[in-house]
Structure 1
Amino acid sequence: MTDRLQALSDAGVSIWLDDLSRERIETGNLAELIKDKHVVGVTTNPTIFAGAISEGERYDEQVRKLVAEGADVDRVIFEITTEDVRNGCEIMTPVYESTKADGRVSIEVEPDLANDTEATIASAQRLWQAVDRPNAYVKIPATEEGLSAITAGIAEGINVNVTLIFSVERYRGVMDAYLTGLEQARDAGLDLSRIFSVASFFVSRVDTEVDKRLEAIGTDEAKALRGKAAVANALLAYAAYEEVIASDRWKQLAEAGANPQRPLWASTGVKNPDYPDTLYVTDLVVADTVNTMPEKTLDAFADHGEVKGDMVTGKGGEAQAVFDQLAGVGIDLPDVFRVLEEEGVDKFKKSWDELVETVRKQMEQEA
């Protein structure tokens, strides 16, 4: 039987799971996924935590104890999420020790801070110190205000997973923020080899937004472009990454021991059922990247995914042609990315509100 996930891993793609729960940790499921499904990292978000807390009883005792201590909802959320991430890091430690770049678990800063640089920095510091594991990542959104927070975190030696990247223009800003942080860390005498980062470039939401606009235009030419924008956007992002790692600025940092900020393909679950359910995995295979998948996509790829070799390197010209066609039929791409970032931050905040409400109900039950 073909081990498709092994083939994906052999192609240089780090397979990360977009899910974490205490149940996965305590039942041994996460360890099984590492062993059997080649999972080498985990990302999470407030919605995932809300689901985990509401669906089981594994958090009850800790919530009960914190309520008895007089903890408010923010402290309860902080304690239970950092504990899960810390324990996830422990399970991932063998992977981390053998790879350094992988074996990672990510935790997000509070989303209400997405447009507040200083508060984001403070939240990242607090999470980093609380988890206290070298294989943790702190997720910082790639808003304008987030860019300076990324630089500050990297400069202090905090590993950063930059999230909510939609446009190539913003991605270039993210890469610049990372390099600036590394330069500041170097100048402060930090060991650059111990600092890691990934840049989470969101994929499926681009097709969702662009396809909606193509449908509204309604011409045959427009409809023929459905399902092409997201992969093209990712290919252009990778071309921008290649430019940066070929630069003298990066080479100087690499000589000082710095690690590249790996591209991470995020939001790779297909939203449109008419598209192949492994589309955003198969079409984005390239070495030294990460693909973080919901379990449904992971299982789909294990069952029938295809690895066709490097599908990304050298494809910038083809991708630009798709973008030119999209613009030609009337798609305002800068507006697409503006809307996606605004919606992304809004979803980020609603996700947090969902977690707060879930924990508040749990606290009321345990009071």
Structure 2
Amino acid sequence: MRPAHQIESPPAMPGRPAESPPTGATGRGRTAVLTAGLVAALGVLVLVALASVALGARSVPLSTVIDAFLAPGASSDHTVIRELRVPRTLLGIGVGAALGLAGAIMQSLTRNPLADPGLLGVNQGAALGVTVALALLGLSDPAVYVWFAFGGAAVASVLVYALGSAGRSGSAPVRLALAGVAVGMALTAACSALLRIDAKTFDRMRFWLTGSLAGQDAATLVRLAPFMVAGIVIGLLLARPLNLLSLGDDTGRALGVAVGRTRLLAGVAVTLLCGSATAAAGPLWFVGLAVPHAVRAVVGGDQRWVLPYTVLTAPALLLAADVVGRLIARPGEVQVGIMCALLGAPVFILMARRRRLAAL
């Protein structure tokens, strides 16, 4: 079994950074193919977004969806589209991009193929922060309680890394995963205990704790979007340093990477992404685990491609899961958090078995 620090490290020639692209016609051809793939991924996201607006407890013809924007009227369909489904779809795009990118950054930074904001307890920490703000302090403005989500996410990250790194074996992938699951369960239990104190808050948050895109209006999206955008921008700018750090801290430092600053910025990006996404939709599992692995299987280990591909494909997956959850339980719905768990759990098991990480 390979040492933990070698898992997920992209192949590289000795003394040559992993980000170095192929030269000549081969390099230009690969770049053209990957760029075309990005355009295709964007097209898929647009199609899934249209499906999210048109499909639900009551399906709406595509022509009516178009009329709701080009020739808005007072019909019930137009009202549902503009005031409910469009904000829900935009929220799903933001949350999916945030969680997918956070997972890709965490996997690259820790060289841990099992890193995921939900699996490592980061989302549960953010959820506890929101629960404290709502249940104990009575704060109901997303622009205010999102700061509690940031604090909870940061504390959970530090705690999981400290527990997973203790001992001689260091931060082995399974140790981090086990520490994350343990901390996440403890934080979830704390959330449940706090909500039992206030039945009214519990009734308000019970769907949110499962993970749901429903119930949030456009105002919530406007308040949280700046944090999501900031986290996405910071994360995408870290592609080159993360590539170099994949060769090891010493090699990355020799190639000009400020290791401490890169880790700090990565931590800030993950905190912004997970905190804002959890404040909006609750703790969602496995989006940040499954999508980066699928992307790397297609584009390779170069973070300059992995990160933007993840930003486009993760929200497509999340919206698709949300649409399926609405269709299979008409006139009700299955929360997107449940659908993501159903899709992501087999991926987690497959990754653990394929890389023989389950053997302690």
Higher relative contact order (CA 8 A, sep 6+): 2
Structure 2 length-normalised TM = 0.26
Which is strand-richer, 1 or 2?
1
The structure that is helix-richer by fraction is: 2
Q: TM-score, normalised by structure 1?
A: 0.26
